[in-house]
Amino acid sequence: MATDQHPDPAAALEPGATLGDIGEFALISALTQRFPQGEQVLIGPGDDAAVLRVRTGHVVVSTDLMVEGRHFRRDWASAADVGHRAAAQNISDINAMGGTATSLTIGIAAPVDLEAQWLLDFAQGFADECALVGASVVGGDLTRGDQVVVAVTVLGACTVAPVVRSGAGPGDVLAVAGRQGWAAGGLAVLGRGFRSPRVLVEAYRRPEPPYAAGPAAADAGATSMIDVSDGLLSEVAHLATASGVRIDVRSADLEVPEPLHAVAAALGGVDPVGFVLSGGDDHALLATFPADADLPEGWAVIGSVAEGEGVTVDGAVRTGDTGWTHF
Binding residues for Mg(2+): 48, 62-64, 93, 141, 227, 230
Phi, psi of 12 (to 5 degrees): -95, 5
Q: Which residues are annotated as a binding site?
A: 48, 62-64, 71, 93, 140-141, 165, 227, 229-230, 281, 324
Distance between CA atoms of 296 and 256, rounded to whole angstroms? 21
Q: How far is CA 106 from the centre of its chain?
A: 15
On the CB side of 90, how many CA atoms lie within 13 Å of its CA?
32
Determine if residue 134 is left, alpha or beta; phi over 0 gives left, psi from -120 to 50 gives alpha, anything else beta.
Answer: left
| Positions at the binding site for ATP | 140-141, 165, 229
What long-range pairs does 119-123 form, CB within 8 A, spacing at least 24? Answer: 119/19, 119/27, 119/31, 119/79, 120/10, 120/30, 120/31, 120/34, 120/79, 121/78, 121/79, 121/80, 121/83, 122/79, 122/80, 122/82, 122/83, 122/86, 123/31, 123/34, 123/35, 123/83
* CA distance linking residue 90 with residue 130, whole number of Å: 10
How many Å apart are CA 155 and CA 115, to the nearest integer?
A: 30
60 contacts 156 by C-beta, under 8 angstroms: yes
Q: Closest Cα partner for 37 from 185, 160, 139?
A: 139
Annotated binding-site ranges for substrate: 71, 281, 324
Other Cβ atoms less than 10 A from the Cβ of 181: the count is: 31
Q: What is the largest CA-CA distance in the chain?
A: 65
Helices (H), 70-115: 79-95
Q: What are phi and psi of 73, to 5 degrees?
A: -130, 135
Question: What is the spatial distance between Cα 128 and Cα 315, in angstroms, rounded to a whole number?
Answer: 43
